[in-house]
Structure 1
Amino acid sequence: MRRVERIADGAPTRQATGRLVVETRGQGFTEFTAEAGAFVRESGVRHGLLTVFCRHTSASLTIQENADPDVRTDLLAALDGMAPRGAAYVHDSEGPDDMPAHIRTMVTDAALTLPVVEGRPALGTWQGLYLIEHRDRPHRREIVLHVLGC
């Protein structure tokens, strides 16, 4: 049997909301692990939940390996194979990268929720938080952060 440890029973609840603007260079991954960690530290929440939400339909969020950049290269290639540019999409008013971007966002995440333990997002050793830009040109992307806990 595994032991379950209770942390901070009866402590007052705190919450904070913030906004992170990410400047992308076009299609690819932009890590924001450090910024999310700083937000949690500044909030004073030691134990709880961090939610991150991307306010766009052609960019998304993921938790992915942050050690080997080849992982991100292979993931982009897989997304290109799943939702290729130049396919016969009906929606093409914003260019050939627009509808594939919407498909890629649909199969990834618009929001992530992470436990906060000891004042830090409880990510694994090789995990990082990423915004994935699915469009070809640079964009300013907004991520809303919310932490709730004690």
Structure 2
Amino acid sequence: MLEVKVTNYDLLQKQVFSLIEDESNTIAILSNVSALLNDSLDQINWVGFYLMEENELILGPFQGHPACVHIPVGKGVCGTAVAENETQLVEDVNAFPGHIACDANSKSEIVVPIHKNNKVIGVLDIDAPITNRFGNDDQIGLEKVVAIIEQQLT
């Protein structure tokens, strides 16, 4: 297995805050954060956001290959994150019931719900071309990144 470098999430969180602190436009915020995450995270092949619209997730700003545009709530890893309102950390997407294969090269995934006014308004979705890419440190670090985004969106 390829070695995954450890991400300095403290530094990444400071960079996210600095990047978006003076911005109020949601698309601009999510676009820059997806670019920063793409540049900062090792061994990933897709990073981006899906936003809730009419009770389904719609593709938002991202970095990577073209992706699924519509994801129903409760379907796939992203839809499950919304339905359960909790981060989904999937070691092997092929073992996840109902996984939606937008990119056949993706082997593991983490999805973090984004909230506004105590309601899920979207998700941060990151895919990797290796299994077991994401661990507890990634979950904690990315949930803190999402918390910074949430503060800026209120």
TM-score range, shorter chain: under 0.3
- Higher helix proportion, which one? 2
Could you tell me the TM-score, scaled by structure 1's length?
Answer: 0.28
Larger radius of gyration: 1
Could you tell me the TM-score, scaled by structure 2's length?
Answer: 0.27
Q: Higher RCO, 1 or 2 (CA under 8 Å, sep at least 6)?
A: 1
